[in-house]
Amino acid sequence: MPKKPIVKKEKPEKVAKAVAPVEVAAPIVVRKPVEVKFDEDDGITADDFLISEKDAKSDKYYEATGRRKTAVARVRFYTRGEKEFLVNNKSYQTYFPHPDIREIAISALKKMKCLDRFRVTAVVSGGGSHAQAEAIRHGIARVLVNFNPNFRKRLRKAGYLTRDPRMRERKKFGLKRARRAPQWAKR
């Protein structure tokens, strides 16, 4: 049986096409001032709340996650729309009926004096109502820093950016709870 000769097929060379560089003009961003009254001693100015023309037209949002114990909150700030605060598609006053817990949830916004400047939506799950409120506060503080990095110093000083690491200790075998032993009777 005769062997067939091996024939190599040559591949056509690829020719690179020269493309002339195209200069693209950067979009012009116009910032609209927001009418706000500020105290001079707070260090917050109207420039901290400027929103670009592009942001004002789009349904842009800033998002962050806040956690506390087993509660997890995903918080979004919308720069446009009705100024409301929704927690799991309910008003925060309805979701947190107790005034002390309600204050915990909005304390980061109050600290930065921007309670009525954004539409805030939070989706929270896990934990109890107190842990959920603190998770929302943590998420709001993180979103405020994403929105404006100048807010970091005041929020850090207030302790709103620190994730509280305290968790419930697990139950141990042979005990009633984490450390509670069964009652012992001498006689």
**pLDDT at res. 60:** 86
- pLDDT of 34: 46
pLDDT tens per residue across span 81-138:
889 999 999 999 999 999 999 999 999 999 999 988 899 999 999 999 999 999 999 9
pLDDT at 7: 65
Q: Which residues pair with 1 in a beta bridge?
A: none
How far, in Å, CA of 105 to CA of 98, rounded? Answer: 11
Residue 105 vs residues 100, 121, 161, 182: alpha-carbon distances, Å: 9, 12, 13, 39
Q: How far apart are CA 126 and CA 65, in angstroms?
A: 13
Spatial distance between the Cα atoms of 121 and 92, rounded to a whole number of angstroms: 9
- Mean per-residue pLDDT, 21-42: 53
Mean pLDDT on 168-176 = 96
Domains and CATH numbers, the chain: 62-158 (3.30.230.10)
pTM, whole model, 2 decimals?
Answer: 0.69
Which segment, 7-16, 44-53, 159-168, is predicted with the most confidence on average?
159-168
